Amino acid sequence: MHMKSAKQTTRTETARAAPERAQIGVQNPSRSRRVPPAARIVRWVRGALGDGAGAARAQITVRFVSRTEAAELNRRYRARDYAPNVLSFRYAERGAIVGDIVVCPAIVALEARAHDMSFESRLAHLVVHGILHLRGFDHASALDAQRMERLESRVVTALGHNDPWAGERAAHETMKTGNTSVPV
């Protein structure tokens, strides 16, 4: 019979006591050169995960794909025939956050230009958006959409990007109040 020394036992116990850390993978088969380094993507994911239940044990892959692959996944899993900007695939309803985020850089680039924002800011917003879906947030109702947008704004600005919803909130306030003046 092999006996462990006290030193070996202590090391084993210490290893078990170490906090769990989310496992986050980044894949770029699209080979888009605009996609920032994986470390930056991982920082965005961690920012969107927060400290909630399941975040420490999260297992997430962020995959950047071509329009063709994005459209195929959208057809197969959502019965929609177009390439979306982001898709979220949640594999666990309870416990650890487990899932994949699929992002199409070509669509992100088009949207960034249309919204007069940087590619990276739009991408950060969509990665955060996808992670919030994995956390269980949705925008099926107006109230759910407001909650999700507020949280996206908080996370994205904390990551150093502009509030992705600021323009829409300002336009909504203008329509509500009838104020069409532009602040100087």
Beta-bridge mates of residue 14: none
180 vs 148: CA distance, rounded Å? 27
Report pTM.
0.80
CA 48/CA 163 separation, integer angstroms? 14
- Tens-place pLDDT, residues 44-96: 999 999 887 678 899 999 999 999 999 999 999 999 999 999 999 999 888 88
Percentage above 90 pLDDT, the chain: 61
Q: Determine which helix (DSSP H) or strand (DSSP E) holds 109, and give its type and residue range.
A: helix 105-114
